[in-house]
Amino acid sequence: MELRQFGRPRQWALWLLFASCTYAFYIPGYSVKRYNDDEHIPLLVNKIFSDNTQLQYAYFDLPFVCPPSGRTHGGSPFGSGQSVSLNLGEILRGDRIMTSDFELQMGQNVDCRVLCEQEIGRKDIKWTRQLIKEGYVAEWIADNLPGATSFVTVDGSRKYYATGFKLGFQEYSNIDGKLRYYINNHFTIVIRWRSAPEGGKVIVGFEIHPKSIRAEDHTQNGCPKQVHEAHDGLELYIPPNTSKLREMYPGSSYIPEDDDEIDDGATLKIPYTYSVYFKEENGVDWWNRWDLYFTNQEEGSATHWLAILNSLTISGVLGVAVYVIWSRTVQGDIKGRGDGALEDGKLKVKSRSSERKGDGLLEQSTDVERDADGSDDEGLEDVSGWKLLHGDVFRTPQFSGLLAPLIGSGMQLLFMVSGLLFLSCLGVLNPSFRGGFVSVGMGLFVFAGLFSGYFSGRLYKTFGGVHWRKNTLITALFFPGLVFCLIFILNLFVWAQASSTAIPFGTLVGLLALWLLIQVPLVYVGSWYGYVRATAWEHPTKTTSIARQIPPQPWYLHSIGGTLLTGLGPFAVLFIELLFVFRSLWQDKSGYYYVFGFLSAVSTILMVTISEVTIIATYSQLCAENYHWWWQSFLTGGSSAFWVFGYCIWYYYFHLHITGFVSSLLFFSYSFLACTVYGLLTGTVGFLTAYAFIRRIYSAIKVD
């Protein structure tokens, strides 16, 4: 006893020491880089993206930008145009990071430097106009920070960043009122830095201010006159070739002013220049330099707290209902205050027998006794109450060979999501770890194949299945196979658009190998252990040989509409936080959903709410003498996925401005896939909750 009391303070001391150590270092996924004066700062170019489409393009694939020269800068062994090695998450999110010809040296301001002069034809001008019209922005990277456009709030009290800068702009001409397109060809790069306590300088901000300057305003050395003065923009326009147009439309009284499809060799020269300025910024620390990318944090925090309060309110109301069910109804029935009581191994119940007399139906109540194994002494046929299902409630459901693999896949997803949220709350997954969320999630999903196989195999054994290898193959191939096939088909559409959103063929082969060579064996090992080595889950009551007849059910217990209504509660818990998630995924594609603490809290409350709804729905079903709860509990838990998909449709029409068939196809396909994953995960939670609830209440009437 004394040793135990002595060891407890030591354990607390060790935990406090561990907590202090974890607080003492920063886990950004990217180490601090300190620069000395005149040291070269690599500037990387990535891609262009837009809020109005799901298609992204690699920056150097654009015909109107300066192509890489291949020269080395700052002593780097790699020349411009060299691809940077990317992790799996970066590839899947469409990143194509490459070195560039921009020369940045710490502390050296440059008023103007010529980059190149690029010539483009009519077809390229047409595509460039389309990109500007769709609001595409370019993403550059310096010191792992994405180049940002700087904004100030309306009251001028706070500055914030929007990742990327616009390729150009459009405006109506004051002369003829026609819409004109202008391209940004001068970039003012602002690097904000501060001194590091250990020596050197660290970068805390990376801003890009683009500008359009017409070619006529450039001097012989290539730089524009008075770079920071007002200039007329460089219009994306080539005068029409009237003679060529007359040849194309002979004898026509109408000659179009221009035709972008004409390949007459005419080109437009675009001179590119840039300026570099370094500004000291002591108000921002290196470890919170990402805060400016998270816009409206104060207002967002208030909304997040509102979401949590809303979730707690809904979950609390449902919790009261569950408490009433458990404390007053279930325990009351067990103690004998309900329809029946357990006495001396006999389940004494009240039944109703009826006989027809004349035109009326006369009901007569009698007290009979039923043995705990389901037989009765007086030929009992029509009974009521959840206890009377003890001989049928654990009867193997239909299509159990499909339910077990689905539950196994749901456990796999549950492990993956829990791991991602946990690592995100610790700070391991953060914006500086580019692509880390997807990469780590993929690794967790593959590793969780052990859990998938174990739960699927053991549940399959509980159902009395004998072909466990077949069950293993279904578990390992069914859900991942559907996901892979859908992504492959969508990839064909994206490949046709020459977009960087398309997954490279080598990456697809790697994903296929990761699935078939690693995950499938892990599922097999887990299934072997769950079926061969582990025992089947024992049920507190025995199943009778003859199934009882189920009486007519209320509409909400046998209709699809009733099942969908049960999903409104969990959806109400989630829908406020969904607005932030959707905004990060679909609108601010380069943005980062950073409030994982709020998301973890809402997710926890969501799981509790799903459990409460499932308990209420399952108890109502048992009281109606319906023992087909296996699939019903799974559908009840996952029914909120239907409302989430409906929310996706609403968000598409009222918040997004997506154009093009392929972009719309990608949106709805990925939304459907995400809702399927969500439904599988929550359905598994609902199933496990109902299983535990039923085992608990029927264990009270178990008779040895």
Decide if 427 contacts 28 (C-beta within 8 A). Answer: yes
Decide if 189 contacts 273 (C-beta within 8 A). Answer: no
* Residue 10 belongs to some domain of the structure: no
The answer to which of 75-79, 308-312, 326-330 has the lowest mean pLDDT is 326-330
587-644 pLDDT, tens digit per residue, is 766 555 666 777 888 899 999 999 999 999 999 999 888 999 999 999 999 999 999 9
What's the Rg (C-alpha) of the chain? 33
Decide if 204 contacts 35 (C-beta within 8 A). Answer: no
Tell me the C-alpha distance between 69 and 51, whole Å.
31
Decide if 577 contacts 304 (C-beta within 8 A). Answer: yes
- Single residue among 252, 274, 295 that ends a domain in this structure: 295
Domains: count for the chain: 3
Decide if 543 contacts 391 (C-beta within 8 A). Answer: yes
Q: Which residues on adjacent β-strands are paired with residue 83?
A: 98
| SS3 state at 441 | helix
Q: How much of the chain, in percent, has pLDDT values that exceed 70?
A: 81
Q: How many residues does the structure list for the chain?
A: 704
Residue 264 has pLDDT above 70, yes or no: no
Q: Which residues on adjacent β-strands are paired with residue 342?
A: 347
At 344, the pLDDT band (50, 70, 90 cuts) reads very low
- Single residue among 506, 538, 570 that ends a domain in this structure: 538
The answer to which of 43-47, 116-120, 306-310, 676-680 has the lowest mean pLDDT is 306-310
Tell me the C-alpha distance between 76 and 53, whole Å.
36
DSSP character at residue 376: B
DSSP character at residue 260: T
Phi and psi, residue 296, nearest 5°: 55, 50
Residue 460 corresponds to which tokens in the numbers above?
């399959």
494 and 417 assigned to the same domain: yes
505 and 627 assigned to the same domain: no
Q: Which amino acid is located at 518 in the chain? A: I
- C-alpha torsion angle, residues 671, 673, 679, 680 (rounded to 10): -160
According to the model, what pLDDT value does residue 336 have?
53
584 and 643 assigned to the same domain: yes
Tell me the C-alpha distance between 433 and 522, whole Å.
28
126 and 231 assigned to the same domain: yes
418 and 562 assigned to the same domain: no
499-538 pLDDT, tens digit per residue, is 999 999 999 999 999 999 999 999 999 999 999 999 999 9
The region that residue 354 occupies, defined by phi over 0 for left and psi between -120 and 50 for alpha, beta otherwise, is: beta
Tell me the C-alpha distance between 407 and 587, whole Å.
33
Instruction: Return the residue matching tokens 């709030």.
Output: 153
Tell me the C-alpha distance between 678 and 456, whole Å.
19
490 and 618 assigned to the same domain: no
Sign of CA dihedral 58, 59, 65, 68: negative
* Residue 268 belongs to some domain of the structure: yes
HEC assignment per residue over 155-200 = CCCCEEEEECEECEEEEECCCCCCEEEEECCEEEEEEEEEECCCCC
Phi and psi, residue 397, nearest 5°: -75, 165
* Residue 409 belongs to some domain of the structure: yes
Decide if 221 contacts 164 (C-beta within 8 A). Answer: no
Tell me the C-alpha distance between 472 and 470, whole Å.
5
According to the model, what pLDDT value does residue 697 have?
86
Tell me which H or E stretch contains 565. Answer: helix 560-565
- C-alpha torsion angle, residues 460, 462, 464, 468 (rounded to 10): 30
445 and 590 assigned to the same domain: no
* Residue 281 belongs to some domain of the structure: yes
218 and 96 assigned to the same domain: yes
Tell me the C-alpha distance between 480 and 32, whole Å.
38
According to the model, what pLDDT value does residue 249 have?
61
| SS3 state at 316 | helix
Cα-Cα end-to-end distance for the chain: 39
* Residue 182 lies in domain: 39-239+263-295
| CA–CA distances in Å: residue 453 to residues 288, 375, 476, 540, 637 | 42, 38, 8, 25, 21
600 and 523 assigned to the same domain: no
According to the model, what pLDDT value does residue 346 have?
46
| CA–CA distances in Å: residue 466 to residues 503, 531, 577, 581, 631 | 40, 9, 44, 43, 21
567-586 pLDDT, tens digit per residue, is 999 999 988 888 888 887 88
467 and 565 assigned to the same domain: no
At 555, the pLDDT band (50, 70, 90 cuts) reads confident
* Residue 548 belongs to some domain of the structure: no
Residue 356 has pLDDT above 60, yes or no: no
Most confident of 6-10, 73-77, 204-208: 204-208
Instruction: Return the residue matching tokens 């009486």.
Output: 551
* Residue 20 belongs to some domain of the structure: no
> Taking the CB of residue 107, how many other CB atoms lie within 10 A of it?
14
84-131 pLDDT, tens digit per residue, is 999 999 999 899 999 999 999 999 999 999 999 999 998 999 999 999
* Residue 339 belongs to some domain of the structure: no
Decide if 384 contacts 625 (C-beta within 8 A). Answer: yes
According to the model, what pLDDT value does residue 371 have?
46
- Single residue among 295, 317, 340 that ends a domain in this structure: 295
Q: Which residues on adjacent β-strands are paired with residue 163?
A: 148
CA 569-570-572 angle, to 5 degrees, is 65
Tell me the C-alpha distance between 453 and 475, whole Å.
7
Kindly state the average pLDDT of the residues 42-48. 96
Tell me which H or E stretch contains 351. Answer: strand 346-357
At 11, the pLDDT band (50, 70, 90 cuts) reads very low
Residue 703 has pLDDT above 50, yes or no: no
CA 224-229-235 angle, to 5 degrees, is 60
Tell me the C-alpha distance between 189 and 141, whole Å.
11
191-217 pLDDT, tens digit per residue, is 999 999 888 999 999 999 999 999 998
The per-residue DSSP string of 96-146 comes to --EE-S---BTT--EEEEEEEEEEE-HHHHHHHHHHHHTT-EEEEEETTEE
* Residue 200 belongs to some domain of the structure: yes
Q: Which amino acid is located at 559 in the chain? A: S
Decide if 131 contacts 48 (C-beta within 8 A). Answer: yes
Sign of CA dihedral 290, 291, 292, 293: positive
| SS3 state at 369 | strand
Q: Which amino acid is located at 544 in the chain? A: T
Q: Which residues on adjacent β-strands are paired with residue 45?
A: 98, 140
Tell me which H or E stretch contains 211. Answer: strand 201-211
474 and 515 assigned to the same domain: yes
CA 203-207-213 angle, to 5 degrees, is 145
Q: Which residues contact 506 (CB under 8 A, 6 or more apart)?
A: none
Q: Burial, 210: exposed, middle or buried (Cβ in 10 Å; 0-12, 13-18, 19+)?
A: buried
216 and 125 assigned to the same domain: yes
> Taking the CB of residue 700, how many other CB atoms lie within 10 A of it?
14
At 391, the pLDDT band (50, 70, 90 cuts) reads confident
Residue 250 has pLDDT above 70, yes or no: no
Decide if 387 contacts 702 (C-beta within 8 A). Answer: no
Q: Which residues contact 559 (CB under 8 A, 6 or more apart)?
A: none
Decide if 508 contacts 88 (C-beta within 8 A). Answer: no
